[in-house]
A and B are shown apart, each in its own frame.
Chain A
Amino acid sequence: MADFPIKTMADYAAAGETPEILFWVGCAGSYDSRAQKVTLAVAKILHTVGIRFAILGNEESCTGDPARRAGNEFLFQMTALQNIETLKMYHVQKIVTACPHCFNTLKNEYPALGGTYEVIHHTQLLQKLIDEGRIKLKEGGTFKGKRITYHDSCYLGRVNGIYEAPRAVLAELDSDLVEMKRARSNGLCCGAGGSQMWKEDEPGQKRINMERAEEALATKADIIAVNCPFCLTMMSDGVKAKDKQEEVMVYDLSELIVNNL
């Protein structure tokens, strides 16, 4: 639970006000217990720097990404058009989200359905806040000198070309950033995209998340940093399966920042 009030768009509307930005939480961010911590971290950062943000609460629906990539266009259109109506009602123009799948769908796919917004991923916002000096990290923070490896999510990295903002944020932590062999545009998927999150892997020799977790562990990093709730689950599962969960932590970027504010 947050130790500060988190207002919804409806709260703002009732008070006759408009927030600066909508924080799109997403399904994982709302319901997955691990991803909820990321949601709280993002909310805390927004609150701390004094950005007036709102969430949609129960008025938010799945963006439709998993339905669309599974092939269920009908369901995608239903949930997407519903969301676009909601966003229109609140005159939403700016959206920040901690999920690269929501980010991609809102940014790249909603325009064709009639919903055009300025959409940013939380790692971009973090970089901007750091650049503007609005986020000030503690001297000699918790992660100083720690080895961190960064896992590019497909939908932030390869699909939307955002490789540097998250790395710039990590550089602020005074930690030792080590790259995996497959990084940036060559980054390896965690295995969850394309609606794989909701099904078992097809028959094969190995799970994809194990392949990636092994690569991350090979860097001897203390922390695996991610930017996506699905990568968070997949990488955590992989680390656990290797029985390394005591030594190696998997964190979202926002959690690393919030711990050093």
Chain B
Amino acid sequence: MIQQIAFCIVSIFALGFAGWQFINIRRNILLGQSEKLELNAAQSWRNVLLVAFGQQKMFKNWIPAVFHFFIYAAFVITQIELIEIFLDGFTGIHRFFAPMLGGFYTFVISFIEILSLLAFVATVIFLIRRNILKINRFEKPEMHGWPQRDANIILMLEIVLLIGIFSMNGADTLLQSIDSQHYPDTGKLAVSSWLGPAFFGGMSEGALHLTERFGWWLHILTVFAFLNYLPISKHLHILLAFPNTYFARQKPRGEMDNMPEIMNEVKAMMGLAEPTDTTELPEFGANDVFSLSWKNLLDAYSCTECGRCTAACPANLTGKKLSPRKIMMDIRDRAEEAGQNLRKGKDEFKKDPALPLTKDNYQDGKSLFDYISREELHACTTCNACVEACPVLINPLEPILKMRRYEILTESAGPAEWMPLFNSIENGGSAWAMSVDRDAWARE
């Protein structure tokens, strides 16, 4: 009874706090501009199915793909066991499904156990890759400190989770032969039927009982900890990969978003359209999360910092400062900063003190340019290698180009070397200033 009450209290707090954190993330994502995505629903679902569920793009690189798949499959399938843990926790019944499912129960739990064992192996290998082999893409400057620690915390939590499962099931298999009244027969479980006796054989009934309870509570408490840790972690991708692939852009990769406000102004200049009223001096491009689109921010929150983009980036791999992964991390950090300030509601962040603090009336003296340097933006060749590389269809190129637009159109800044290019296009219709005819090659 005490356990049931404790379980109810812990669940309510854990789920409540996690819910509040997820609402905040949603709010932060919606700090971005609305954007018409023009999605074909069939294609969107295909992306969710193949890219998120099927992890299609991970398999460009087989070794991490296979190990990642073990952890992913174990995670997904363990949710079945989690349902039972919840039911047991609320009702006080031990192994709710065991008596009614019989042999099928043995099969399901055994399946979970095998995947869990594979996930354990994969987790250890991932820890080795990060901390001993030091795979290059995990060692870039943006990974130092918290991101590196974050990755290790997640992997350690996974190991704790697995220790919980196997202590619980291992002790349980031994208890079934001692006290079949309270411990219903689960059949011969694939892993714990030998792991249990190997680790816990010879323990007293009391000790076994404690071990089983320890495993059960360790498992569920780690799940709750995990859920509440996700919102501040790069590991959020386990949830956001699904909406992110659904909302991924479907327009041709080579098409930069048109800017109708500029198109109409130019058309008016050329006498092709009626001039529009432009009394307000507009800002073009993006200098902050507020001028990026919500999809750009969803991209940032979906990023798990794997660095496949950065490893493929021609600028990065020739030693330039640009790292597409860092761009996404910066956007998320900035969204968090602005989101937190807005939540605190302090007057100091109001642009106009007379109005309430909203995203449209927000100013903290900072912008994305405090996170992302011009040098990074100027190094991009728009080659789309980062876009191609991302396993969850994040587009790091879009924010880079939006910030370039801000620099050129709103600030009239940018690399000085581009001035002759702009001048010759504007004055001579050519990317180079030339004094000969354009078709001289055909005539001379």
Interface residues, chain A, with chain B CB atoms under 8 Å away: 1-2, 6, 8, 25, 27-32, 36, 39-40, 43, 55-58, 60-62, 64, 66-75, 77-79, 81-82, 85, 104-105, 107-109, 112-113, 154-155, 158-160, 185-186, 188-189, 191-208, 210-212
Complex CA gap A74/B414 in Å reads 15
Contact B252 A79 (CB under 8 A): no
Chain B residues with CB below 8 A from A188, complex form: 314, 385
Complex CA gap A125/B269 in Å reads 37
Contact B253 A6 (CB under 8 A): no
Q: List 19 A-B contacts (CB under 8 A).
A: A1-B443, A27-B430, A30-B439, A60-B438, A67-B425, A72-B418, A73-B259, A78-B266, A81-B267, A81-B270, A108-B254, A113-B258, A154-B384, A186-B388, A188-B385, A193-B381, A196-B381, A198-B418, A202-B378
Contact B437 A199 (CB under 8 A): no
Complex CA gap A24/B404 in Å reads 28
Q: How far is the CB of A127 from chain B (nearest CB, A)?
A: 20
State whether A204 and B315 are in contact (beta carbons under 8 Å apart), knowing that A71-B407, A189-B385, A198-B431 are contacts in the complex.
yes
Could you say which of B263, B378, B409 contacts A81, with CB atoms under 8 Å apart?
A: B263
Contact B381 A194 (CB under 8 A): yes
Contact A64 B425 (CB under 8 A): yes
The answer to the question of B408 belonging to the interface, with a C-beta cut-off of 8 Å to chain A, is yes
Q: How far is the CB of A83 from chain B (nearest CB, A)?
A: 9
Complex CA gap A113/B273 in Å reads 13
Contact A67 B442 (CB under 8 A): no
Could you say which of A6, A27, A75, A207 contacts B442, with CB atoms under 8 Å apart?
A: A6
Q: How far is the CB of B173 from chain A (nearest CB, A)?
A: 48
Complex CA gap A64/B378 in Å reads 18
Interface residues, chain B, with chain A CB atoms under 8 Å away: 60, 252-256, 258-259, 262-263, 265-267, 269-270, 272, 284-285, 312, 314-315, 317-322, 375, 378-385, 387-388, 401, 404-409, 414-415, 417-418, 420-422, 425-426, 429-432, 434, 436-444
Contact A195 B421 (CB under 8 A): yes
Contact A74 B420 (CB under 8 A): no
Q: How far is the CB of B300 from chain A (nearest CB, A)?
A: 20
Complex CA gap A39/B441 in Å reads 8
Contact A73 B405 (CB under 8 A): yes
Contact B385 A158 (CB under 8 A): yes
Going nearest first, the 5 A-B pairs with the smallest beta carbon separation are A205-B319, A71-B404, A61-B429, A194-B382, A204-B319
Contact A81 B256 (CB under 8 A): no
Contact A71 B285 (CB under 8 A): yes
Contact A61 B430 (CB under 8 A): yes
- Give the A-B contact count at a CB cut-off of 8 A: 219
Contact A202 B442 (CB under 8 A): no
Contact B437 A57 (CB under 8 A): yes
Contact B254 A160 (CB under 8 A): yes
Complex CA gap A21/B436 in Å reads 25
Contact B425 A62 (CB under 8 A): yes
Could you say which of B272, B318, B407, B409 contacts A211, with CB atoms under 8 Å apart?
A: B318
Complex CA gap A192/B315 in Å reads 11
State whether A72 and B442 are in contact (beta carbons under 8 Å apart), knowing that A155-B254, A198-B418 are contacts in the complex.
no
Complex CA gap A40/B382 in Å reads 29
Complex CA gap A66/B320 in Å reads 21
Contact B382 A193 (CB under 8 A): yes
Extra contacts besides A75-B422, A158-B388, A203-B375 (5): CB < 8 Å: A71-B285, A79-B426, A81-B263, A113-B258, A192-B381
Of the listed residues A43, A74, A79, A185, the one surrounded by the most CB atoms of chain B closer than 10 A to its CB is A74
State whether A198 and B322 are in contact (beta carbons under 8 Å apart), knowing that A27-B432, A73-B284 are contacts in the complex.
no
State whether A30 and B430 are in contact (beta carbons under 8 Å apart), knowing that A57-B437, A81-B272, A202-B321 are contacts in the complex.
yes
Chain B residues with CB below 8 A from A210, complex form: 318
Contact B256 A109 (CB under 8 A): yes
Could you say which of A55, A192, A204 contacts B439, with CB atoms under 8 Å apart?
A: A55
Could you say which of B60, B269, B441 contacts A30, with CB atoms under 8 Å apart?
A: B441
State whether A78 and B426 are in contact (beta carbons under 8 Å apart), knowing that A55-B439, A203-B375 are contacts in the complex.
yes
Q: How far is the CB of B208 from chain A (nearest CB, A)?
A: 54
Closest chain B residue to A43, Cβ basis: B442
State whether A31 and B434 are in contact (beta carbons under 8 Å apart), knowing that A77-B266, A194-B382 are contacts in the complex.
yes
Contact A28 B431 (CB under 8 A): yes
Complex CA gap A116/B258 in Å reads 15
Complex CA gap A108/B267 in Å reads 20
Complex CA gap A190/B53 in Å reads 34
Complex CA gap A82/B430 in Å reads 13
Chain A residues with CB below 8 A from B322, complex form: 202
Contact B263 A77 (CB under 8 A): yes
Could you say which of A108, A195, A201, A205 contacts B418, with CB atoms under 8 Å apart?
A: A195
Complex CA gap A159/B320 in Å reads 23
Chain A residues with CB below 8 A from B320, complex form: 201-204
Contact A189 B381 (CB under 8 A): yes
State whether A66 and B425 are in contact (beta carbons under 8 Å apart), knowing that A58-B437, A81-B267 are contacts in the complex.
yes
State whether A69 and B256 are in contact (beta carbons under 8 Å apart), knowing that A39-B441, A198-B421 are contacts in the complex.
yes
Chain A residues with CB below 8 A from B263, complex form: 77, 81, 113
Chain B residues with CB below 8 A from A108, complex form: 252, 254-255
Of the listed residues A32, A40, A107, A189, the one surrounded by the most CB atoms of chain B closer than 10 A to its CB is A189
Contact A208 B314 (CB under 8 A): yes
Complex CA gap A91/B155 in Å reads 62
State whether A58 and B381 are in contact (beta carbons under 8 Å apart), knowing that A70-B421, A109-B255 are contacts in the complex.
no
Contact A159 B432 (CB under 8 A): no
Chain B residues with CB below 8 A from A158, complex form: 253, 383-385, 387-388
Chain B residues with CB below 8 A from A211, complex form: 314, 317-318
Chain A residues with CB below 8 A from B421, complex form: 66-67, 70, 195, 198
Complex CA gap A55/B308 in Å reads 43
